[in-house]
Amino acid sequence: MSFPWAEHYTPKHPVMQWIDEKLPLPRLVYNAVGAGYPVPRNLNYFWNFGVLAGLALVIQIVTGVIMAMHYGANTLVAFGTVEQTMRDVNAGWLMRYAHANGASFFFIVVYLHIFRGLFYGSYKAPREMVWLLGLVIFLLMMATAFMGYVLPWGQMSYWGAKVITGLFGAIPVVGEPIQTWLLGGFAPGNASLNRFFSLHFLLPFVIAAVVILHIWALHIPGSSNPTGVEVKGPQDTVPFHPYYTAKDGFGAGVFLILFSILLFFAPNYLGHPDNYIEANPLSTPAHIVPEWYFWPFYAILRAFTVDFFFVPAKLLGVLAMFSAILMLFFLPWLDTSPVRSGNYRPTFKKFFWILIIDVLILGYCGGAPAEEPYVMISQIAGAYYFAHFLIILPLISRFERPLPLPGSITESVLNRQNIKGEQDALPGMGADPQPSNAG
């Protein structure tokens, strides 16, 4: 693991030496996120989001475990205990709002983390396993978030559970038995609520475990960087601590400020008023929508309105929605260009931004009612989403002529500093431009 020039852990205090001999845990931490992990020196702020996602997971686990202390997983009392947490439990409102909005922030930073990976080609060899494990985390997050949303047992909880488990009912022959099995009944009920609570408690720890694998797999080749050029020597890296602990610390501060703004000033902004009505199996809310982070996928699900080749529209929608994520598992082999960073791929860069706009459009349509023109827009945007990965990306990789790459990370950093140095020198009218101090 890591580069040969990594700092070695040498405990000075006898107690630390004693611990290191018996259980080298401090050594592991030092080598993973301490001075013993050399990281490319040119990482920009997009590299903050991995650590921020970890921070969001910690916030979710802490607030979630506390909320579980005040929650009753039974359809008779669930809604009431959540309201009780909000009104009667000391600081209960803070825990619940932090947990609900924390989920949104978790998805925000994870989407930005994925965005970073897509733009800078972080999924490419030798980091395919990092990408695959990241997608596993993403799927686990979606399952966890879905089940967590059912727990307050409001109208959206109930009908969300019904619609989402109904997706499995679209599978031919075995669909309905699977749906009944998932719910433990013919409709969401007490059995469903209990199992969702149990799994909602378990899965975050499974996520934490896969996060460890994700970081482990990352530390074998080491972090990628904005040039996409591999580390060539000690001059290309700086130790994770204190350089990136400081940079991530700044990012964490910004993250917490934004989180606090939402949490304290608009805690229900991203929620649905219908979920403050207790679940009623006999009355459907007029407009069922999932949480915002599912909208792009929900739009793809609803984009199919006509049967194709005797396959029912509903099944097509379900298949398309799952494929939209499963396809990403093949991304490292769909994009065959040896150049990683989008900064050196002019054609890729253009289509990348079109894809981002496309996903935002899908997200907008997923949150809108299922009527025209949103259905038609979803169909076009959904088709483009698949075309980007399955047709456009492989073609770009074949025909694109990338820009010349810098010789090394250091070279790209020094070039940038030289240009900046010259610009700084201009207003000073200096006869001899300041030599860049990095020389």
Partner 1 sequence: MASVEHTDSQGLAGGDGVRRRDFINIAAVSFAGVGAVAVVIPLIDQMNPSADVLALASTEVDLSAIQPGQAIKTTFRSQPLFVRHLTDKEIAEADKVDASSLRDPQTLEERTVDGKKQWLVTMGVCTHLGCVPLGAGEGENRGEFGGYFCPCHGSSYDTAARIRKGPAPKNLEVPKFSFTSDTAILVG
Annotated active-site positions, please?
219, 223, 247-248, 291
Residue 57 burial by Cβ neighbours in a 10 Å radius (0-12, 13-18, 19+)? buried
Q: Which residues bind partner 1 (CB under 8 A)?
A: 159, 162-163, 166, 180-182, 184-187, 189, 191, 195, 281-284, 286-288, 302, 305, 307, 312-314, 370-371
Pair type for strands 237-239 and 38-40? antiparallel
Residue with tokens 């350089």: 243
Residue with tokens 């600081």: 91
Task: List C-alpha distances in Å: 166 to 180, 215, 296.
Answer: 9, 35, 19
Measured from the CB atom, the residue of 184 and 421 that comes closer to partner 1 is: 184
Question: Shortest CA distance to 397 belongs to which of 354, 337, 348, 355?
Answer: 337
Question: What amino acid is encoded at 190 in this protein?
Answer: N
Question: Shortest CA distance to 188 belongs to which of 210, 165, 218?
Answer: 165
Task: Flag whether 214 is marked binding.
Answer: yes
Q: How far is the CB of 299 from partner 1 (least distance, A)?
A: 13
How far, in whole angstroms, is CA 214 from its chain's centroid?
Answer: 13
Q: How far is the CB of 297 from partner 1 (least distance, A)?
A: 14
| Largest pairwise CA distance in the chain | 83
What would the two tokens of residue 96 be? 């619940």
Task: State the Cα–Cα distance between residues 256 and 49, nearest whole angstrom.
Answer: 13
Task: Flag whether 219 is marked binding.
Answer: yes
Length reported for the chain: 439
Classify the C-alpha dihedral 52-55-60-63 as positive or negative.
Answer: negative
Q: How far is the CB of 152 from partner 1 (least distance, A)?
A: 19
Task: Flag whether 200 is marked binding.
Answer: yes
Q: How far is the CB of 210 from partner 1 (least distance, A)?
A: 22
3-class secondary structure, 38: strand
Task: List C-alpha distances in Å: 153 to 85, 271, 417.
Answer: 14, 14, 57
Measured from the CB atom, the residue of 144 and 410 that comes closer to partner 1 is: 144
Measured from the CB atom, the residue of 165 and 227 that comes closer to partner 1 is: 165
Measured from the CB atom, the residue of 135 and 143 that comes closer to partner 1 is: 143
Q: How far is the CB of 269 from partner 1 (least distance, A)?
A: 24
Q: How far is the CB of 146 from partner 1 (least distance, A)?
A: 15
Positions of E strands within 192-287: 237-239
Task: State the Cα–Cα distance between residues 49 and 109, nearest whole angstrom.
Answer: 6
Residue 269 burial by Cβ neighbours in a 10 Å radius (0-12, 13-18, 19+)? exposed
Measured from the CB atom, the residue of 65 and 187 that comes closer to partner 1 is: 187
Measured from the CB atom, the residue of 235 and 305 that comes closer to partner 1 is: 305
Task: Flag whether 99 is marked binding.
Answer: yes
Annotated binding site for a ubiquinone: 219
Annotated binding site for heme b: 99, 113, 200, 214
